[in-house]
Structure 1
């Protein structure tokens, strides 16, 4: 007996391919969907190659593969948003927006319109009884990027590989005879692939040279434009005093100045967060764990109703427009945007 119709977002990678194969083995009626993204000219990771990989995997699994062109919507909802944020001197997270607007926005809505009972992706995250938890593979956990999801959306979502570690996913791919079992993990911006962000941004935001100041007020270098740099950044700084290493600790957009200092100078005991989305009932003030960057370790903190987040220990490189994502005992509680 079939468990229902599932549309699986297939990127051509091993994770989404294994997700599709697992669901078919579990008795679901599975349809693969390749989402055609917007990609800038000259990017190495061409969508045509990924689509071919998805087609080959779907053929082995013996499921149909649809191709939905979301390039226009992706450009508007993700790329243009990203450029706007950088132009304002902030550092956005396009992967969060991609999940919100494309994968769990457009893709989910269109799949349901076509009669799907569920959508599935190859995200490393665990969904149990309507609650999201960090994946078994802590190194691959992607719950950080999914804080914008809603309980209504989660009722229609499946995450088949959340309980697996990556090496076991590759073993499953080999067992299923998937042709992409050894394909390297994708890197870079959601859908777009590897991207030199500064080089990409110069096509949309004109360089505007300015001064790099030390926290003590000395001019120690020059930059191409404050938009291209992010808080906590160490590399790519044109500094001439022969000391360091230095890190970006502040940016003044109006004066076109970057301020750098030692690593400790990037640390803070508090931050402000807005635009919250909650997947759990919260009573303020609340003690929780928070991640302020994808690869950061969770930190203990207290969040007040007014959005003030106080850390138990100094937290480095808190960056405006990045996501603050909240957890308790491995459960994803929700998140917000750092001001």
Structure 2
């Protein structure tokens, strides 16, 4: 079997690095892993393999309830998934590692990848600070009172914990809303607030459907977040009950039915 390599660095820079920077600059919080899967790990790989005459492609995705990767796979086109083989897809990671060790494969002791791979040991926040520079601004409570200073609204994610300098009260503080043009945050003592406690809808775009979108469906709009029952009406998800967490524009909303992935999209404003 010939061993071939493909340089996909140009696709990676465009779909992951440039995309991540542009989304944060626009005030959204992206899922770069989603675009990496769609355009590089599956997209570029599939196109190259087909050009070489391959019948299908194969990946090393394993089964995991704790680290379910389907949340990051929703954007892969159905036609590519139809020609993808998952040889270890019915095995847990520990079982895959045991087999790798049995056959003396060098990946047996390979560490798990963490975060955005091109950053290495640098955090996303550190990388963005190097791109955008220092952007301190006011953090206000829901009544408009200044309660501290943040390090940059573009660095924040709705619902995420945020560190404040010169805070007027004890934390923790969570981001409830942000104004990129004014470089201001609205913060509170919990992830939910009066700004969102009755919301039942999440607008989304860039949808990719692998299964049927009609009828009762479950939506997951944060990695490792709960799956919320509801329905899809056009490009809006309507929850059966008030949303448990604030949706963050730019993040993925992923749809399931009966435990199976049926599609997804990108949360809008």
- State whether TM-score is above 0.5: yes
The yes-or-no answer on 1:219 pairing with 2:146 is yes
Match of 1:156 in 2: 83
Q: Would you say how many aligned residue pairs link Structure 1 and Structure 2?
A: 264
Distance 2:246 2:111 in 1: 29
SS of equivalent residue, structure 2 residue 149 = strand
Q: Check conservation: 1:140, 1:166, Cα contact below 8 A.
A: no
Q: Check conservation: 1:230, 1:319, Cα contact below 8 A.
A: yes
Of 246, 249, 256, which residue of structure 2 is paired with 1:327?
Answer: 256
For 1:169-248, what aligned pairs fall within 5 Å after superposition? Answer: 169-190=96-117, 192-248=119-175
Distance 2:10 2:115 in 1: 20
Match of 1:297 in 2: 226
The yes-or-no answer on 1:336 pairing with 2:265 is yes
SS of equivalent residue, structure 2 residue 18 = helix
The yes-or-no answer on 1:88 pairing with 2:26 is yes
Unaligned runs of 5+ residues in structure 2 are none
Of 174, 191, 200, which residue of structure 2 is paired with 1:269?
Answer: 200
Distance 2:119 2:131 in 1: 16
**CA offset digits 1:249-293 (Å, max 9, x no partner):** 10011221011012232654322112211011333xx31111111
Backbone CA RMSD of aligned residues = 1.9
Q: Which has the larger strand fraction?
A: 1
Give the C-alpha shift of residue 239 in structure 1: 4.9
Match of 2:186 in 1: 259
Deviates more, 1:199-208 or 1:328-337: 199-208
For 1:48-67, what aligned pairs fall within 5 Å after superposition? Answer: 64=3, 66-67=4-5
Match of 2:9 in 1: 71
Q: TM-score by structure 1 length?
A: 0.73
Per the alignment, do residues 306 and 188 of structure 1 end up closer, same or farther by CA in structure 2, a change over 3 Å counting? closer
Deviates more, 1:241-250 or 1:317-326: 241-250
Q: Check conservation: 1:214, 1:261, Cα contact below 8 A.
A: yes
Q: Check conservation: 2:156, 2:162, Cα contact below 8 A.
A: no
Q: TM-score by structure 2 length?
A: 0.91
**CA offset digits 1:66-85 (Å, max 9, x no partner):** 33222222112211111000
SS of equivalent residue, structure 1 residue 309 = strand
SS of equivalent residue, structure 1 residue 204 = helix
Give the C-alpha shift of residue 311 in structure 1: 4.5
